Amino acid sequence: MDHVTQQDPIENEFELSNVKWTVAMAKLDGDPDSATSEWFINLADNSDNLDNQNGGFTVFGEVVGGRDVVDAITDLRVVNLGGNFTTVPVGDDFDVNGDTLLNSDLVVIDDIVLAYDPATSLAADQTVVPGGAANGANHTTVTITSEFGSALAFRQMGLSGGWTVTDLNLKTETSGGATHPVTWIDDKDDATYAAAVTPDGLLLYKHTQGDTWTVRNLNSEVQGSERITSSLTTFVGTNGLSYLVGVTADGDVMLFRQTGGSQNGEYTWTARNLSETDLLVNNLDTTPTFVSPLSSYVTSWGGLNVVGLDAQGDIQALWWAPGRPAWSVANLSQQTGAPALQGTIAPYLTDWGAINLSGTDANGHVVVTWWIPSFAGDWVQTNLTTLKSGPSLATGSIATYVTPWGGTNILGRNADGDIVAYWWAPTLGPGQWQITNLSEFIQGADS
């Protein structure tokens, strides 16, 4: 055997946690920047230990395939051959007291290939809507699905703090399985949570410290709950309880909800298949066939709402209000005569009780379907692009927010990739929308 030629030590770059099946750099005690050619595989969750000593052990890989091979190695007998070789795994036939040690008695890596794994990319999948949450302490979390299908959580602690990134896939036994993550901050414990769809079930993550997250499988905890496979959305009711809603492989709408109780210091959850209960009317399933990601919002009077587009481009709303025994379905596009929409629906609410559902039609026009309490059961549709002779926006790029002073903002990308804002403020008067190209307005902004 030849000794592995060592190059210069590598600067420590601790970011990812030392959870099970991650691969980390070995280094000298008391010297965080001493890693060279040696590495190890975490056979258990060692985050509590290795993340918090010697600068944190830098994770640079994950055992994706061949985990059974690693398990087979750990099952081998370990012998002391003297010198630096005090714990060497050997085959069952080797006699430490008499045999000559042969290569066939050892675990030998014959060849190593340097390969680029695109799954480590932090670039976002532009077809999946990012999630975000922030609180008054300026703790901000953004969740994305990467261009190679990994669920990532970016987190910043305060405006002057740096960002950390956590690959939520490392928290599941199914490598690469966690996708379409959502995030929220629970006011009950001021903790940041995330959830993601995986082949193992609906995983619930809780941020604890640094870039460390704990994980639970809600499908394993809630007996009889069906697995969500797409269109995950989250919201918090006026009662302070968190909700997760998504679509199963059969097209059913599945709802997970906090119970209001706790066990072992963690909030407990329950689940209900809305398609098999609330939306089953006279034995007829009224569940829409959603083809877009789901969005959600909660009204000031406690109404819970989940919206998305069906195959015809109609806005389908699942809604519940206090005092109602069950959830119901409403086709808002049929009520307003709105054109078929594409992409996603981005809701926003106002202090005066208005509900606004923004989206784009086939021409990229910004269309808002809206309602105010004085309309009773009627909804209205307005094409802002036609109204203001504004630019078209890319399908699926729409996002919304409302300022503390009541300013409403609809943002998206134009054909040049610029961020364009359709915006309105109470001082402008009814219908006086404005349009600003933020990429042109902000010096040095990228398209």
Residue 176's pLDDT band (boundaries 50, 70, 90)?
Answer: low
263-310 residue pLDDT tens: 999 999 999 999 999 999 888 889 999 999 999 999 999 999 999 999
Cβ atoms of residues 395 and 384 within 8 Å: no
Mean pLDDT throughout 130-153? 80
The 10s digit of each residue's pLDDT in 73-102 is 889 998 888 888 888 888 888 888 877 888
Cβ within 8 Å of residue 37, ≥6 positions away: 4, 5, 6, 7
Q: Is 411 helix (H, G, I), strand (E, B) or coil?
A: strand
Domain count, the chain: 1
Q: Is 1 part of a structural domain of the chain?
A: no
Does 249 fall in a domain? yes
pTM given for the model: 0.73
Does 27 fall in a domain? no
CA 342 to chain centre: 22
pLDDT band at 408 (very low <50, low <70, confident <90, very high): very high
Residue 242 lies in a domain: yes
Q: Note down the domain range covering 208.
A: 122-287
Asked if 85 contacts 96 with a C-beta cutoff of 8 angstroms, the reply is: no
Please report whether residue 131 resides in a domain.
yes
Domain-embedded: residue 421: no
pLDDT digits 0-9 by tens, 424-446: 999 998 889 999 999 987 776 66
Output the DSSP codes for 65-100: S-HHHHHHHHTSEEE--BTTBSSEEE-TT--TTTPP
Instruction: Taking residues 172-185, report their average pLDDT.
Output: 74
Tokens of 28: 């000298």
Nearest to 335 by CA among 369, 312, 362: 369
Q: Which of 45-59, 254-268, 368-382, 431-445 has the lowest mean pLDDT?
A: 431-445
Note whether residue 162 is domain-resident: yes
Residue 20 falls within a domain, yes or no? no
